[in-house]
Amino acid sequence: MNTTQLTPVVLATGAVLVVLTTYPYLATAIAYRDRDNGLSYILFLMGVAVWNGLFAAQVLDPSPVVKGFFFSIATLGAVLAGLGWLLFASTASSTPALPAQRTVYRLVALLAGLEIALAITNPAHALYWDIPGKTAATLAFTVIEPNVGYWLHTAFLVALFGAGSVLFGLAWRRGTDVRYTRTYALAGAATTVAIVGSNVFLAGTASIAPLIAGALTTIGWVQAQQKRYLRLPLPYRWIGNFLR
CA distance 170 to 156: 21
For residues 32 and 105, is the Cβ–Cβ distance under 8 A? no
Chain-wide mean pLDDT for the chain? 86
Burial 37-76, CB ≥16 within 10 A → b, else e: bbbbbbbbbbbbbbbbbbbbbbbeeeebeebbbbbbbbbb
Q: What is the pLDDT of residues 31-59, one digit of tens each?
A: 888 888 899 999 999 999 999 999 999 88
Q: Residue 243: is its pLDDT beyond 60?
A: no
pLDDT at 209: 92
3-232 sits in which CATH class? mainly alpha
CA distance 8 to 205: 9
Rg of the chain over all Cα atoms, to the nearest angstrom: 18
CA distance 218 to 111: 27
pTM check: above 0.75? yes
